[in-house]
Chain A
Amino acid sequence: MKRFLIFFLVFTLLLSGCTQKQAQDFGPADGDTLVIYTSHKKEVWWPIVKEFESRTGLWVQVVEGGTNELLETIRSGKADPIPDLMFGGGVESLEANASLFSPYICAQADRLLPQYRSGEDLWTPFSALPLVLIYNPKLLSPDSLTGWSDLLKPSLHGRIAFADPAVSGSSYTALVTLLEALGGDHDTVLREFARNLDGKQLPSSGDVLSAVASGECSVGVTLEETASRRIAAGEQLAMVYPADGTSCVSDGCAILVGARHPENAKKFVDFTVSRDVQQLLQDQFCRRPVRDGLEPSASLPDLAAIAQVDYNLRWASEHRDSLLMSWAFYLGSEEEE
């Protein structure tokens, strides 16, 4: 009886196991893959990844998500597939998670602009992203918005589109830049700005442009590249570089500790700062290259002509929690990260 049962089971298994093969012959060898976690939008990563694949023959698997969300996943150790590289995310966020990354000095590091480089080479800069103010030209005359100080004017009370700095990295950078540009007591400035927002902040940085373009708000704070591209796309927006100084923080790219394909990850990092990619950034994505010796952009003003505050990256990342807490307090919101 027992023997018969075993025979029966084996027979059934044999019958059912006869299908399912194929596939794996078509995939790459394990050493020829690369897993990238990116916070860039597809329109940014797609051409770069595709070009990288066709130039190197490697296969890249891309996982998209918000910077903090991705870093949180990586930190939890539950990331699947296991990432080799974090591509995108403000360098403040990368700096705050320094323990996740292994240092790497990219090829042609000497061609990178020194102000954007990481002290410990934990990350490699990808593009520089100045902050700008935008307004709806139908709702506001060009003279009434020149710099950060205008955001504290009562005339703009409740009409400012500003993303939640706890969610949006660029919004946090904007907050720090505002404090730097206006000077004085941080708490006072924070309180005044929060009061002028009338308790209203937007859930993500993408909403700022929509809110201004739709007329829901009159002015907004966002990144130069986002604003430029939306303006180029024909939306009703105008852009102002704050006269009292803006910041130009870069985003970056970092190899993770525990990467399974570190060599491939290094190739990709090298590729992101290559001349071809940096030129593409400037020409097509309205981003500022972090590399010297490129042909200047036709559409973007020279960075040297724009007033800049002295943005202290270390201070910004060290005081992130306390600043966000004060901000949430002044905004009268219970919300935090």
Chain B
Amino acid sequence: MKQLHFRSFRQQLNAAFLAVSLIPLLLCSVLLVQIFRLRMVSDAQQTAQQQLTAALDALDSVHTGFQSVVDTLDSDRLVTQALFDEQAEDTKVYEQLFQATEALRGFAAFHLYDISGNWRYSTQSAPESKVLSTHWGILYGAAQVPGTVVYSAPEDPAALSAPLLHAAALLTDPYGAPMGYLTMELRSSQLGALLGGLAGAQNQLLLLDAHWRPVYCTQSAQVLTLAETLRNQLLSGKALTGTSDNFVYTVARDAATGLTLVLQQPQVFTQGTLRLFYSVSTLCALGCVVLSIVLGLQLSRQVFEPIGRLHRAIRQVEKNDLEVQVPIPEGNENELTDLARQFNHMVTTLAANQQTLLENQKALNEAQIRMLQAQLNPHFLCNTLDTMKWISKINQVPQVALMSTNLADILRACISPAEFVPLRQELLILERYIEIQKIRLSDSFSYEADVPEDLKDCMVPKMLLQPLAENAILHGLSGVEAGQLLVTARADAESLLEIRVCDNGRGLPPELLGPYRPPEKQTGHLGLFNVDTILRKHYGECFGLRLENREDGPGACVVARLPIEKGES
């Protein structure tokens, strides 16, 4: 079966409520109706069987009575004489006839016919036609089976003035030769006395002959149509439902007479009753539907209101409103209030975090502003230095003039916004620096730069060389009398630029050789560390500084390795 899909949990809940209430109800209703029906039908069948058995007994009693009359009169000398020779006294014949038929005279009329079908004697008034054909009808039938009683239905069972059930038997003389016929006629009133009381007030009893031709019905008005309908249904192999659906029919066949009895009972479970049952069931089902909808709505409201509040609160949070709080109803502790409380806590914490973050940012900004405010205008410094240069030139102090010029150049380079500069410019700034240091250190070292012209266009980070040179001057050349500072650059493997800053000092201890490693303790000298960091962060981990000792003599080299990048020149 295809799974049902519900759009929301609420619908699922309602459907579940409906199913749980409706299915057992419908099941119970159907079962009750069916069991009730079965019970009533079986009761009715039992009643029908009882009534039919009683009716069959009544028929049998008539049959056996008639058979005994036949047995008494058969081979009777007096009757033989009367029918055959017409030499008997009528009174004696009548006496004999009345004696023999005593038990049944209340129910039936008896007639005696001679062998040619001429009427002779009757227990009641003479029959309408005094001659009966022996080639046709009941006498013909009786003659075919001597000693047996045959029964015959009337042409019109609704004509109550005429006898309805005819029976006849052939009588034989003491030598076994046929001598006449005994017939019995039962009228409607007599059949009514025999069968009428057996069927119960609501039921009808229908008497049919062996071929289901109607003989008698306790309600004579419908005998013809009902019998014909039933017979057609029987012959066409359909169920016996009669002319309408309001009745059930039970059939019993009397073995001795060949007659058939049909009992008509009102349908125990009529359409009306069934409709009532279905109406009640439908009403109950409707009640269930209403109840389950109400309960479902109630429950879903209990569940979904908190969820809805939570949902709305989350929407608010999405819109960056962290002030929102889910209201928690008093005295109703469950999973949903826990959830709401946790949500509230979460939102509160989030708001606090955001507040802290905001405050930090504010503090930072303020610090930066203060820092900016604290900085001197570098152009003021440069201009001042220029002024110093001019004053020192006027006053004939060339060193001060030179130092001022150099310092101003270095300062300008420092404050220029460009992060990368051509190597050529870097070498110039380095020269300015060297000039200052030479003045400070009384020309105790010499400086030489050996850079091929084509590499001077390479772009390098600003202030790359100065920290390296400072390192060599302060550490490599300290205590060296004729110090040498050598800056070389070469391209290695096309794309790699190696810039070496070498001194001729003591050289480095072996544990420092190799790729530059930042010292474990940060000291005041961060020159090498900064340069190495700049190179690695800009170009990648495979670039940076490398410390070596000179191979061609004493001294150390700091090698800066970086990719060749030509500037726009």
Contacts and interface: CB of A to CB of B under 8 A. Distances in A.
Interface of A: 1-2, 8, 12, 15-16, 18-20, 22-24, 26-28, 33, 42-43, 46-47, 50-51, 53-55, 59-61, 81, 275-276, 279-280
Contacts of B251: 22-23, 26
Given A50-B153, A55-B141, 6 more contacts: A16-B34, A18-B38, A23-B240, A27-B237, A28-B235, A59-B211
B250 A22 contact: yes
B34 A12 contact: yes
B213 interface: yes
A277 to B, nearest CB: 9
B253 interface: yes
A116 to B, nearest CB: 23
Nearest to B3: A1
A15 B235 contact: no
A276 B135 contact: yes
Contacts of B213: 50, 53
A24 B240 CA distance: 9
Contacts of B38: 15, 18-19
20 contacts: A15-B31, A15-B34, A15-B35, A18-B38, A22-B240, A23-B234, A23-B239, A26-B212, A27-B237, A28-B235, A47-B137, A50-B211, A51-B136, A53-B213, A54-B211, A59-B235, A275-B135, A276-B135, A276-B136, A279-B135
B237 A26 contact: no
Interface of B: 1, 27, 30-31, 34-35, 38, 41, 133, 135-137, 140-141, 150, 152-153, 155, 210-213, 231-237, 239-240, 249-251, 253, 260
Interface of B is mostly: mixed
List the 10 closest pairs (A to B, CB-CB), nearest first: A15-B34, A27-B234, A53-B211, A23-B240, A61-B235, A276-B135, A2-B1, A26-B251, A46-B155, A19-B41
A332 to B, nearest CB: 42
Nearest to B228: A62
A107 B153 CA distance: 29
Contacts of B141: 54-55
Contacts of B1: 1-2
Contacts of A280: 133, 136
A33 B31 contact: no
B274 to A, nearest CB: 11
B269 to A, nearest CB: 10
A12 B213 CA distance: 39
Contacts of A53: 211, 213
B535 to A, nearest CB: 73
Given A26-B253, A276-B135, A54 B155 contact: no
A61 B136 CA distance: 21
B235 A27 contact: yes
A43 B155 CA distance: 8
Given A15-B35, A15-B38, A54-B152, A81 B135 contact: no
- From A1, A18, A23, A280, residue with most partner B Cβ within 10 Å: A23
Contacts of A26: 212, 234, 251, 253, 260
Contact of A24 (B27, B30, B237): B237
Contacts of B212: 26, 59
A279 B135 CA distance: 10
Contacts of A22: 240, 250-251
Contacts of B31: 15
Nearest to B224: A42
A268 to B, nearest CB: 14
Contacts of B253: 26
Given A8-B27, A15-B38, A47 B236 contact: no
A270 B38 CA distance: 50
A20 B241 CA distance: 10
Given A1-B1, A12-B30, A15-B34, A47 B152 contact: no
Nearest to A280: B136
Nearest to A58: B211
A234 to B, nearest CB: 16
Contacts of B153: 50
A10 to B, nearest CB: 13
Contacts of B152: 50, 54
Contacts of B211: 50, 53-54, 59-60
A46 B153 CA distance: 11
Contacts of B234: 23-24, 26-27
A20 B155 contact: no
